[in-house]
Chains A and B, each alone.
Chain A
């Protein structure tokens, strides 16, 4: 079985482009051009140069000695937290801004949850001198104030999404509505491997630099390209898609996806889509989705704004239902403790999203000689207020 997208835009039975006709010309333009543009030598050259000189790639693959000793296995951390802007999100926004320029778009829109993708988009728009509008849920604007300020400093306009749960799902709705109302000059930089085809595939390809580097770095450090496991947190799933990408079709590499259980899977306040969702359509994609019996999309909950999404990218829905991926969910409490633990053991304060991935080691046991790579998707600066409140620091 292949786990990449097929020629019709599906991963198994998930994916597709369930979009109103108003969006068809834009999505079709992108679908017909994205692979062609990405293959151009000039595109690749510019993309790689920016990743190196501006983002700071390759990011280190760091052997976490004290963390490994504690859990009696061999853990490497892929340091995406060291990317410019503090998370992996910028890999994708660099790629998409170059794409937008080649499609002659002059206006950029984006949605953001935690604000990391908003900041990464505002950053590349400043870099390229393009107009930038970021939609962000009203509640997220309150809980991620530093990122809102950063976006404003970078010249972006931050528009609050005031409908529904006022979080990431609603910000995405507003961005899509903006695109419907601005059909010719605007490119929508989606921040995750969600949305209509070709977005999930395009974003995964831009993020695949993560696993390309892991392969090379592991070969240098361990004399092997393939770890036993790759672990990543999944909200929409872009950091995970990037960390898994090169290993999707290599069965001996175990894929572990960590979702946010919130206050507990069955607490009614959770974002564990694989456990709670069934097939449905959200933001133009057929995927696993948290919804009522009647097909209304339900409000998710997680302490981490970046995992607070009621769906999951179609690639991940397929990894789950096919059994290729092992899906684990982690509560707010376990994630917070894991974030504090990594800070103390390794001197690295992770984003709360990433802390979910680190929390599995308490219950998911690995063999002593297993080689486990955890994608350290972002740093915890933006979450300092949440850490302060939680631990009374």
Chain B
């Protein structure tokens, strides 16, 4: 059992944090991971910065631009993470746009993830059909969980297809938006959360986009198994740096 699958077998609402590798400073990646684990975060998504992050709003875009300016590359990230499993044991997921992965070589990338102790991947612009046809076998060979997104507009039949192709969890985008665009949830989100809960999917669900504090974390995890905080965490990092992590995490639940 992969670390991701294992953590979902525990009966708790998972708190997951996203941050961009190489931000605020180039060598912050490992200290941030250690600090997150120390403060009880259940899972982390490490963003590989990309020049053209289509699904991201201004906060994550700016962190990516800065991380690239700082000199972050795919090779450097793997180098920084090579001993991470000596100090960090929570599930780690890499979130990357597909082009940098394609240029590294999909198989080489997956092999390196396994060697490093990465448990799963979120590649938002790698569509389901391409994944199934060309890459599923590679992901499975290296024991990586591939995580797909669904949105309030995703049809029921497509959700079923995604559920079938998934083996870790499903990433529920709370509203049709780029990251960091909205705060809080309205009636549309509540009914979407309930609709998905009623579908009895085989994979657990984690809600992302629009979660920034204890109130939204609680609302998001009423039906779902956990929630992801990204832009709000990056904003905090920009203002307070690594020292601000402890207070931020403890304010959430």
Check A183/B176 contact, CB under 8 A, given A21-B151, A177-B57, A296-B100.
Answer: yes
Please determine whether A19 and B125 come into contact, CB atoms closer than 8 angstroms: yes
Whether A297 is near chain B, meaning CB under 8 Å from some CB there, is yes
Complex Cα–Cα for A169 and B52 (A): 9
Contact among B99, B100, B130, B176 for A22, CB-based, below 8 A: B176
Residue pair B149, A22 in contact (C-beta under 8 Å)? yes
User: Which A residues lie within 8 Å of B75 (CB)?
Assistant: 294
Shortest Cβ distance from A297 into B: residue: B51
| A33 contacts the other chain (CB 8 A) | no
Q: Kindly specify which of B110-118, B153-161, B239-247 makes contact with the partner chain.
A: B153-161
Which residue among A25, A177, A283, A298 has the maximum number of chain B CB atoms within 10 Å of its CB? A177
A183 to B150, CA, bound (A): 13
> For the complex, would chain B's binding face be called helix, strand, loop or mixed by DSSP majority?
loop
- B5 in the interface (beta carbon within 8 A): no
Q: Are A163 and B155 in contact (CB under 8 A)?
A: no
Nearest-neighbour CB distance to chain A for B147, whole angstroms, equals 11
Q: How far is the CA of A52 from the CA of B130 in the complex (A)?
A: 41
Give the residue name and chain of the B residue nearest to A298 (CB): B51
Assess whether A281 is in contact with B98, with CB atoms less than 8 Å apart: yes
- Of A169, A177, A294, most buried by chain B (CB within 10 Å of CB) is A294
Is A284 an interface position by the 8 A CB rule?
Answer: yes
Is B181 part of the contact surface with A, judged by Cβ < 8 Å? yes
Whether A177 pairs with B153 at a CB distance below 8 angstroms is: no
A280 at the interface (CB under 8 A from B): yes
Residues on B with beta carbons closer than 8 Å to the beta carbon of A294: 73-75, 100, 103-104
Do B125 and A296 touch (CB < 8 A)? no
Instruction: Identify B52's interface contact among A16, A25, A173, A184, CB under 8 A.
Output: A173
A17 CB-CB contact with B under 8 Å: yes
Contacts of B130 in A (CB 8 A): 16, 18
The chain B residue sitting closest to A16, CB to CB, is: B130
> Does A291 sit within 8 A of B, measured CB to CB?
yes
Chain A residues in 8 Å Cβ range of B65: 163-164
Chain A residues 9 to 43 lying within 8 A of chain B, measured CB to CB, are 16-22, 24-25
Once A18-B125, A295-B102 are accepted as A-B contacts, the answer to whether A177 and B54 lie under 8 Å apart by CB is: yes
Q: How many residues of B contact A (CB 8 A)?
A: 38
Of chain B, the residue at the smallest CB distance from A26 is: B153
Q: Are B52 and A164 in contact (CB under 8 A)?
A: yes
Interface string of B135-154 (1 = CB under 8 A from A): 00000000000001111011
**Residue A393 at the chain B interface, CB threshold 8 Å:** no
Q: With contacts A281-B99, A296-B100 known, is A21 near B124, CB below 8 A?
A: yes
Contacts of B57 in A (CB 8 A): 177
**B103 with A180: CB separation less than 8 A:** no
Residue B50 interfacial (CB < 8 Å): yes
Which among A25, A164, A176, A183 is the interface contact of B155 at CB below 8 angstroms?
Answer: A25
**A19: B residues at CB distance < 8 A:** 125, 127
B100 contacts A180, C-beta separation under 8 Å: no
Q: How far is the CB of A352 from chain B (nearest CB, A)?
A: 26
In residues 273-320 of chain A, which contact B (Cβ within 8 Å)?
Answer: 279-284, 289, 291, 293-298
Of B99, B150, B154, B176, which is within 8 A of A180 by CB?
Answer: B176
Distance (whole angstroms) from the CB of A14 to the closest CB of chain B: 13
Q: How far is the CA of A368 from the CA of B129 in the complex (A)?
A: 51
Which residues from chain A contact B155 at a C-beta distance below 8 Å?
25
Q: Is the CB of A21 within 8 A of B54?
A: no
Which residues on the A side are within 8 Å of B27 (C-beta)? none
Does B214 belong to the interface (CB within 8 Å)? Answer: no
Known: A25-B155, A180-B55. A280 touches B99 (CB 8 A): yes
With beta carbons under 8 angstroms apart, the residue of A17, A18, A24, A279 that contacts B154 is A24
Q: Which residues of A contact B104 (CB under 8 A)?
A: 294-295
Known interface pairs A17-B127, A21-B150, A25-B153; A293-B103 also in contact (CB < 8 Å)? yes
A210 to B209, CA, bound (A): 45
Mask of B188-224 contacts with A, CB within 8 angstroms, 1/0: 0000000000000000000000000000000000000
Are B124 and A20 in touch, CB under 8 angstroms?
Answer: yes
Do B127 and A291 have beta carbons less than 8 Å apart?
no
Within B28-68, the residues touching A (CB, 8 Å) are: 50-52, 54-55, 57, 61, 65, 68
Q: Which residue of the partner chain A has the closest CB to B50?
A: A296
Q: Does B80 contact A (CB under 8 A)?
A: no
Known interface pairs A22-B55, A22-B173, A25-B153; A295-B100 also in contact (CB < 8 Å)? yes
Q: Does A181 contact B (CB under 8 A)?
A: yes
Given A18-B125, A181-B181, A296-B68: A173 touches B100 (CB 8 Å cut-off) = no
The residues of B that contact A281 with a CB separation of less than 8 Å are 97-99, 102, 125
Which among A18, A181, A293 is the interface contact of B177 at CB below 8 angstroms? A181
CA distance A277 to B80 in the complex (A): 29
With an 8 A cutoff between CB atoms, is B178 at the interface?
yes
Cβ of A291 and Cβ of B52 under 8 Å apart?
no
The 7 closest A-B pairs by CB, nearest first: A295-B103, A295-B100, A21-B149, A183-B176, A296-B51, A20-B55, A281-B99
What are 19 A-to-B residue pairs whose CB atoms are below 8 Å? A19-B127, A21-B150, A25-B155, A169-B52, A177-B54, A180-B54, A180-B55, A180-B176, A181-B176, A181-B177, A181-B178, A184-B153, A279-B102, A280-B99, A280-B103, A282-B52, A294-B74, A297-B52, A297-B99
